[in-house]
């Protein structure tokens, strides 16, 4: 799809992500030192669960990484022996991914394609050619159509091929930090186990179908960043709809996990756990993240 033909949501979101790429590459959040040392790591949630997806290791597996950003996770899997195709609609992200692959000597095991997810079948006309589709942390909220997302995944997977998906939990996406102008915003929250931080406030309906028009100049990887392209369009996807879309597209669900931690400071009350994840200061009131494994059925 030519950029001028793109819907407004895609243009806004792409400009936002294009601007984020250099911020992220320069950030401590995306620490590329282990990758550069040949020992790239994923977050503990994926590290714990991926043996269920690639039980015999990554050598020889063909992996499609959807919404790969600037390729850091794609190249971790390539370092482990997979052949990875990363797809993202941000050209700066794809350029950065290609440069990183060259720097790491992984050009022969990685390819990065610039395309909107919904154009993936045209950008990469290789049906049933992947052993694994991998997509994690900050993905489907940028996509309007979860049914088509699931069909695209199914189209690329070989029969018996696996999906690994991890993201924020849709129940947590109902909430946001309390706004400064809300009544009582400067008072400690009674609900929290000590400390002055306030519990996040409900902001978005779990079953909301309309796009959410947001305007947030900050960035999860760099709290000091002030993005010029701060307007974005995002979507809520209830968990049941995501699971059903995958089943209807031809995948069998192998496992679904809920997590009380995520790899970014989703709410200001969250605290770093010391392993790259952020969790609740006391009681785990709500799941913050979720992940699943699924297998493409042969039928």
Check: CB of residue 137 under 8 Å from CB of residue 165.
no
Q: Which is nearer to ligand SAM, 17 or 112 (CB)?
A: 17
Q: Which two tokens stand for residue 258?
A: 């809920």
Short-list 105, 159, 87, CA closest to 127 = 159
Rule CB under 6 A: which residues touch ligand SAM?
10, 13, 17, 67, 69, 72-73, 88-90, 93, 116-117, 136-139, 142-143
Say if CB 124 and CB 153 are below 8 A apart. no
Residue 14 CB, nearest distance to ligand SAM (Å)? Answer: 7
Nearer to ligand SAM, 54 or 114 (CB): 114
Give the nearest distance from C-beta 233 to ligand SAM in angstroms. 10
Q: Min. distance of Cβ 71 from ligand SAM in angstroms?
A: 8
- Cα–Cα distance list, 230 to 12, 87, 174, 226 (Å): 9, 23, 20, 8
Q: Which is nearer to ligand SAM, 73 or 131 (CB)?
A: 73
Q: Which residue has the tokens 């979101």?
A: 13
269 touches 198 (CB < 8 A): yes
Let me know how long the chain is. Answer: 299
**Closest approach of Cβ 297 to ligand SAM, in Å?**
26
Closest distance of CB 69 from ligand SAM, Å: 3
- Nearest residue by C-beta to ligand SAM? 138
The alpha carbon of residue 23 and the mean position of all alpha carbons in its chain are separated, in whole angstroms, by 17
Q: Is 158 in contact with 89 (CB distance < 8 Å)?
A: no
The least distance separating ligand SAM from the CB of residue 193, rounded to whole angstroms, comes to 30
CB 133 within 8 A of CB 169: no
Q: Which is nearer to ligand SAM, 90 or 178 (CB)?
A: 90
Non-local (6+) Cβ contacts of 33 within 8 A are none
* Residue nearer to ligand SAM on the CB measure, 74 or 178: 74
Q: Which is nearer to ligand SAM, 17 or 278 (CB)?
A: 17
């Amino acid at each position: 799809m030519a950029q001028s033909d793109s819907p407004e949501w895609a243009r806004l979101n792409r400009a936002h992500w294009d601007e984020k790429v250099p911020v992220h590459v320069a950030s401590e959040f995306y620490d590329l030192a282990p990758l550069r040392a040949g020992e790239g790591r994923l977050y503990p949630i994926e590290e714990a669960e991926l043996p269920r997806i690639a039980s015999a290791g990554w050598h020889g597996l063909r992996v499609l990484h959807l919404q790969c950003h600037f390729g850091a996770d794609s190249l971790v899997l390539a370092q482990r022996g997979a052949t990875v195709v990363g797809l993202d609609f941000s050209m700066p992200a794809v350029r950065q991914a290609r440069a990183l692959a060259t720097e790491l000597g992984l050009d022969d095991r990685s390819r990065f394609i610039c395309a909107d997810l919904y154009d993936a079948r045209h950008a990469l006309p290789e049906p049933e050619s992947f052993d694994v589709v991998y997509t994690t942390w900050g993905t489907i909220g940028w996509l309007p159509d979860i049914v088509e997302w699931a069909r695209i995944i199914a189209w690329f997977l070989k029969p018996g091929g696996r999906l690994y998906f991890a993201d924020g939990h849709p129940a947590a996406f109902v909430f946001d930090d309390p706004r400064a102008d809300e009544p009582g915003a400067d008072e400690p929250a009674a609900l929290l186990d000590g400390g002055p931080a306030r519990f996040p406030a409900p902001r978005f309906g779990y079953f909301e179908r309309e796009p959410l028009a947001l305007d947030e100049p900050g960035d999860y990887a760099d709290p000091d960043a002030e993005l010029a392209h701060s307007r974005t369009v995002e979507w809520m996807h209830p968990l049941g709809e995501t699971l059903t879309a995958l089943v209807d597209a031809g995948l069998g669900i192998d496992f679904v996990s809920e997590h009380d931690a995520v790899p970014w400071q989703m709410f200001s009350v969250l605290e770093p756990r010391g392993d790259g994840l952020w969790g609740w200061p006391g009681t785990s009131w709500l799941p913050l993240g979720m992940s699943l494994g699924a297998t493409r059925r042969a039928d």
